[in-house]
Amino acid sequence: MLVAEAQSLTGCVFGFPVPRDGSWWREFEGALPQNLEQLTASGHVFAITETVVHPHEHAHGLARRLQERLLADHQASLGITLVDQSDRPARAAFETWGWQEAGQILRAPTVLCVVLLPLGERTTEHLNGLAHNARTKRPE
């Protein structure tokens, strides 16, 4: 958990490391992209489960900064979260913070959108920032 405060609490973000065993991805619709499987197995995927920011004019960009800081503190290469498919305001908020939809998971009875925040360098080969590197190789 990471908290931001000025004269009072202005925001917080909470999450946890995604288990390396791939259990997070159960019920993923379709084939799981290899880069997601590899990042998960390497222990560099972190789930953001809550983001709360006071709607104040001075808090512009605070949600994104808190998310990035929590991910950096945990040396994550990828942030993930699940958002109810029907929750358009939440999906739009994540999109404005730079997150990208990457598929769906069915967690009965709800269909959840998988939303990713890649932290890797975007290259012409890996436009989504999910490049493989020495840190993200599958453990032996």
Residue 110, by phi and psi: left (phi above 0), alpha (psi -120 to 50) or beta? beta
CB 59 within 8 A of CB 52: no
CB 46 within 8 A of CB 79: yes
53: domain CATH number? 3.40.630.30
State the pTM of this model. Answer: 0.79
CB 69 within 8 A of CB 2: yes
Torsion of Cα atoms, 122 then 126 then 132 then 136, to 10°: 50
State pLDDT tens for residues 89-125. 999 989 988 899 999 999 888 999 999 998 865 444 4
Domain coverage including residue 67: 2-136
Give the C-alpha separation, 29 to 135, whole Å.
Answer: 27
Number of domains in the chain: 1
State pLDDT tens for residues 17-66. 999 999 999 899 988 888 888 889 999 999 999 988 877 766 678 888 88
Q: Can you read off the two tokens belonging to residue 16?
A: 């946890």
